[in-house]
Amino acid sequence: MPADLPRLAPTGDARPAVGIVHLGLGAFFRAHGAIYIAEAIAAKGGEWGILGVSLKSPGTRDLLRPQGFAYTAVELAPDGTKPRVVEVVRDVLVAPEDPQAVLNEMADPAVKIVTLTVTEKGYCHEPSTGALNLAHPDIQHDLSNPLPQSAPGFLVRALDMRRKAGMRPFTVMTCDNLPENGRVVRGVVLELARAIDPALADWIAAEGRFPATMVDRIVPATKPEDVTELATLTGYDDQAPVMHEPFRQWVIEDDFVDNARPDLGAVGAQLVQDVTAFEHMKLRMLNGTHSSLAYLGYLAGHETIADTVADPVFARFVRHLWQAEIIPALMPPPGEDLNAYANALFDRYANPAIRHRTWQIAMDGSQKLPQRILGTLSENHAAGRSSPGLTLAVAAWMRYVGGVDENGQPIDVKDPLADKLRALSDGADTGADKVRALLSVRDVFSAELAKTIADDVIAAYSMLEQNGASAAAQEVSK
């Protein structure tokens, strides 16, 4: 870090009042949704400033506060980096420090939208069914405590405050990678609300809005050297920058309470009646192959996605996944060419400026597999189409959560079910037994799908054990 550089600070221009509360103010939203919102304000005006809420730790708040909650978004293009300062975040609250303060902000009538990026596990639901997990410790707490811990708990309690005050509800807009994400968050909110007060659930069901969205931008984790390089480039010290690729996409179901929203269409967001086809395209073609490359690439010794697709074996493998296994199971969204989309995805993966680590993408696989891979796998089986590449990806996930790589080195598995998955794997003697044990995890695999794919996954797991990830990927994509 160059010495004695000034800390990044807001420009001093008038900033919009808060109209949006965002739960889970991580790097992705700051590199995606917040930039769209800032651009919409600049283009069309409106009091759409963002109040961020950290549901777990003060880290983001503590980095942003000394610089007035301004931060730099750095575009990582093949021809160089392009920084821009984003000043749309007005403040950040840390929920465990003062949950009532968070609820008070969410209940403010000036707040029209609550957005979320809390990751798949943040919805406290069963990924295989979408239903609220009433046994989840945070949900157990929130059922009886008016000061919540979970994202669904904050939504329900804040909506209840607005109902009791005779106010309109806020729109709940999830920006997480979940199939039918609007339906999922609406479902968990209504389940929790009904368990607390059926009248509240009825009011939310009648008056609330939960637009589905599809978000897309690769946002690698910011590393210490990124902070140093940015300081050299800009001449100021920003301790909370975000890195992102040039590409971005935001498809939004245009269904908001009282039509109150920023003019996001003016800055490139796609406002549509139905997001389903777009989200299937993205979840399966991008996220599905991202996860597949993450597990197999990590096992093969590749640190990043760019490194992985630079390997001709995995370049062929990912193209095989798109052409032979994923595209045949998709209905193209209006105006989209799936083959062109696949080619664009490959170019994005190969961008040498994006150092998106396979280990980072491999996190929380138990939450991601159902929507990213298992849906396609299930549909292919039903249609009589073989899926050797996706089956191999499932087997690679099983090998990965076993916690030991192909060279016998430990893997730091980050997953809410990590301990359970490791115990199941360690408790089985053979590869086939490990597969059967992991297929019994109903948080991930339905009983029907587990029975359907068992023999194929066992064969794929055996191939991984005997030949390694690279040879196995080469075999299935011949």
Residue 13: per-residue pLDDT: 77
321: nearest Cα among 162, 473, 144:
473
Question: Residue 444 is which amino acid?
Answer: V
What domains appear along the chain, each with residue ranges and CATH number?
18-272 (3.40.50.720), 276-476 (1.10.1040.10)
User: Which two three-digit tokens encode residue 356?
Assistant: 């998106």
Looking at residue 320, what is its pLDDT?
Answer: 98
Render pLDDT for 213-228 as a digit per residue (tens, 0 to 9). 999 999 989 999 999 9
pLDDT grade, residue 273 (50/70/90)? very high
Q: In this predicted model, what pLDDT tens digit does every residue of 100-130 receive, in sequence order?
A: 999 999 999 999 999 999 998 999 998 878 8
Q: Which two tokens stand for residue 342?
A: 């696949």
End-to-end, the C-alpha distance of the chain in Å comes to: 48
pTM above 0.95, yes or no: no
- Digit-coded pLDDT (tens) for 299-331: 999 999 999 999 999 999 999 999 999 999 999
Element (H, E) at 376: helix 375-383
List, edge to edge, every strand of the sheet that includes 270-272.
213-216, 249-253, 270-272
Which residues, in sequence order, are CB contacts of 41 under 8 Å at separation 6+? 16, 48, 49, 88, 262
Distances (CA, A) of 205 to 134, 193, 406, 433: 19, 10, 50, 45
Mean predicted confidence (pLDDT) in 284-297: 97
For residue 2, pLDDT over 70 is answered with no
Report whether pLDDT(395) > 70.
yes
pLDDT tens-digit series, residues 130-157:
899 999 999 999 999 999 999 999 999 9
- The mean pLDDT value for 87-112 works out to 98
Using 50, 70 and 90 to split pLDDT, how confident is the model at 94?
Answer: very high
Main-chain phi, psi angles of 251, to 5 degrees:
-105, 125
* Residue 168 CA, distance from chain mean position: 29
Mean pLDDT in residue range 46-75: 97
What span, in angstroms and rounded, lies between the C-alpha atoms of 301 and 188?
39
Instruction: Quickly state the pLDDT bin for 3 (edges 50, 70, 90).
Output: low
Distance (Å) of CA 436 to CA 312, 427, 430, 453, 463:
32, 11, 10, 10, 16
Quote the CA–CA distance of 105 and 162 in Å, as a whole number.
11
C-alpha neighbours within 13 Å on the C-beta side of residue 417: 26
Mean pLDDT over 65-94 rounds to 96
Per-residue pLDDT tens over the stretch 446-461: 999 999 999 999 999 9
pLDDT band of residue 178 (cuts 50, 70, 90) is confident
Q: Could you give the angle at the alpha carbon of 304 between the alpha carbons of 300 and 308, nearest 5°? A: 50
Predicted confidence at residue 334, as pLDDT, reads: 87
Tokens, residue 118: 């809390």
Q: What percent of the chain has pLDDT over 70?
A: 99
The mean pLDDT of 183-211, rounded to a whole number, is: 98
Collapse the DSSP code of 43 into the 3-class scheme (helix H, G, I; strand E, B; otherwise coil) and give the result: helix
pLDDT digits (tens, 9 = 90+) for 157-174: 999 999 999 999 999 999
